[in-house]
Amino acid sequence: MVNFKTYETAQGEAAISLAKAMAEVDATTDATMVAVVSAFDLSAIKAAAPNLGVWTQHLDPIDWGSNTGWLHPQTAMERGATGSIINHAEHKVNLDHVEKLLAQLPNDFPVCACAADIDEAKSLAALSPTFIAVEPPELIGGDISVTTADPGIVSGTADAVKAVNPNVRVLCGAGVKNGDDVARAIELGTEGVLLASGVTKANNPLSVLRNLISQI
């Protein structure tokens, strides 16, 4: 799961190119790729990579009407969104927001709720999102993967989430850069990773994407 954020190298035409690289890896390997993109780019990316999972970076549990600046789930889906992350460290919301959003969305629309620590992951797991991604904020965008810097939070989150709700799938992120990091994440009990700059800032994203899945 690659979060495009608002990196200049992952917006507009650059976002389309990156999504096409992800779609190529998705179609030619056993790995599942998901592009988490700017709402502005949803339609263009879905058109360019129709078989790729294209998610939005945030949604709001709102009705139609006077909601300036908010992101309506139905609009996102009509523009091609096939899932969403929520509660990223850079866009925090409260549990009530997450609960209302999940209630509003179709059952087959996946959501990955981000957690800063094990306690937050447990609280989110009780709401039954599709995924929970644990990402210690201090490691996001850094050079050391969470799987190296704090493996205990990865394995601890996996155990804690499954104890609360065995149907929730666990990811980890923050500092993930290569295949070693991904392999270690899986060894620690996750089913995949959520990352950003390791791919979005790469000189050769396709090469990095292939390296990420080289040991699974």
Active site residue 88: yes
Bridge partners of residue 170, in order along the sequence? 132
* Catalytically annotated residue among 135, 138, 187, 191: 135
- Nearest-Å Rg of the Cα atoms of the chain is 16
What number of CA atoms fall less than 13 Å from residue 143's CA on the CB side? 0
DSSP label of 148: H
Q: Are 148 and 184 in contact (CB under 8 A)?
A: yes
The residue annotated as part of the active site, out of 13, 58, 72, 88, is: 88
Residue 152: alpha-carbon gap to chain centroid: 21
The DSSP H or E segment spanning 211 is helix 205-212
Residues annotated as catalytic are 88, 135
